[in-house]
């Protein structure tokens, strides 16, 4: 005799929830696998006791996360900081396929992108080209 019923939730395979039932198929509780919580938490009110409990049970300290988990967690914060800096007149520096030598970088401002050359010895920056 089975003691659970799986809920077929859209987009959650394997099922994210199971209802625990007694010998008479009366619901007794809900089983939420901790690995499935990230898929479900967007649909649960953050003020709900279940949400708070699951948040505590699934919390992983930053230093114990994999590099991929750290990157995913920080990505939105980094993008927000970059955007705020652009809005304040600062710029973002990076390299891409246009940077064909070690001294070339892209400085991206809110309204334009520039290719620059940076002298590794003196730190002086030379504008090579305005990209857009």
At 121, phi and psi to the nearest 5?
Answer: -85, -50
- Predicted pLDDT of residue 88: 93
How confident is the model at residue 80, as a pLDDT? 92
Position 129 scores a pLDDT of 96
SS3 content of the chain, % helix, strand, coil (to 5): 35, 25, 40
Provide φ and ψ at 44, rounded to 5°: -115, 135
What is the structure's pLDDT at 13?
57
Report domain extents, the chain. Answer: 4-59, 61-90, 91-132
Q: What pLDDT is stored for residue 1 in this prediction? A: 40
Strand partners, 4: 20
CA gap 53, 113 in Å, rounded:
46
| Token pair listed for 126 | 């030379």
The pLDDT value recorded for residue 99 is 96
Model-level pTM?
0.49
pLDDT mean for each 10 residues of the chain (132 residues) = 50 66 84 83 89 90 93 91 91 95 95 95 96 86
């Amino acid at each position: 005799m089975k003691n659970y019923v799986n809920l077929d939730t859209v987009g959650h395979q394997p099922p994210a929830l199971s209802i625990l039932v007694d010998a008479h198929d009366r619901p007794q509780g809900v089983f939420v696998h901790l690995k499935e919580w990230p898929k479900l938490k967007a649909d649960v009110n953050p003020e709900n006791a279940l949400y708070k409990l699951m948040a505590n049970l699934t919390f992983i300290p930053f230093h114990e996360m994999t590099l991929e988990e750290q990157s995913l967690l920080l990505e939105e914060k980094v993008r927000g900081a970059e955007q705020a800096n652009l809005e304040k007149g600062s710029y973002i520096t990076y390299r891409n396929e246009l940077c064909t030598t070690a001294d070339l970088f892209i400085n991206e401002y809110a309204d334009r992108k520039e290719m620059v050359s940076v002298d590794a010895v003196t730190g002086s920056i030379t504008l090579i080209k305005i990209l857009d």
